[in-house]
Amino acid sequence: MAEAVRLVKKYPNRRLYDTRTSAYITLADVKELVLKHEEFQVVDAKSGEDLTRSILLQIILDEESGGQPMFSSDVLSQLIRFYGNAMQGMMGSYLQRNIELFNELQKRMQDPSQALYGGNSKASQDLWNQFMNFQAPAMQSLITAYVEQSRNMFLQMQQQLQNQTRNMFSGFGFPGFTPPQAAPKEGAKEEPGGEKKG
């Protein structure tokens, strides 16, 4: 039988209480749960409100304030601009798919070295670093190709949406709006002035 999701309660004094171990824990302990792929949920002890996302964001903020941040100011600014934008929902799923792809790629590369040297050994880390340094151009090329493919798909989807919108409103006379030209009927003959005759 699968274990129930681990429940962590947050009290008004900002302390986190792990109901499985019956002990108070820190954000560092919650981060360890994430790293171990343990399913957990953080709830407000009083209201029962789900606080998991806000705790995870707090961990990310702590990590970003450390020595090697993952996101530049430019990337964070771009993300902020997506809030309230019509594309906000799409951006979330796009990022999720890309992170899943990156995880899969990383796992495929790590598995063989872990089988030889063990999970987190120094030799495994050194080999992984050497491999990444050696493969950086190939990895960059692979990721660039994927991003370009995603960009092209996005542009195609945008074009389709514009075409559908044009077709929907082609019967209305809007100033400055030119309806799309209808395709000539099959079997229509061209008149000397370049016009089709049906």
Question: In whole angstroms, what is the distance from residue 165 CA to residue 70 CA?
Answer: 39
Beta partners for 50? 43
The count of domains in the chain is 2
CA-derived radius of gyration, the chain: 27
Task: Flag whether 155 is in a domain.
Answer: yes
pTM here is 0.57
27: in domain? yes
SS3 72: coil
Let me know if residue 101 belongs to a domain.
yes
The domain of 13 spans 1-70
pLDDT at 135: 59
Buried b (16+ CB within 10 A) or exposed e, 61-97: eeeeeeeeeeeeeeeeeeeeebeeeeeeeeeeeeeee
Asked if 93 and 153 sit in the same domain, the reply is yes
Confidence tier at 137 by pLDDT (50, 70, 90) = low
Is 103 a domain residue?
A: yes
In a domain, 146, yes or no: yes
pLDDT tens track for 46-69: 999 999 999 999 999 999 988 788
Tokens of 66: 């450390």
Residue 66 and residue 92 in one domain: no
Tally: H helices and E strands in the chain:
5, 6
Same structural domain, 98 and 42: no
Question: Is 107's pLDDT higher than 50?
Answer: yes
* Residue 157 maps to a domain: yes
Residues in the chain: 198
Q: Mark which of 70, 100, 122 sits at the end of a domain.
A: 70
Residues 92 and 64 reside in one and the same domain = no
Identify the residue with better confidence: 106 or 190. Answer: 106
In the predicted model, what is the mean pLDDT of residues 31-37? 94
Tokens of 143: 């990721």
pLDDT for the residue numbered 184: 55
Residue 172 lies in a domain: no
Same domain? For 97 and 36 the reply is no
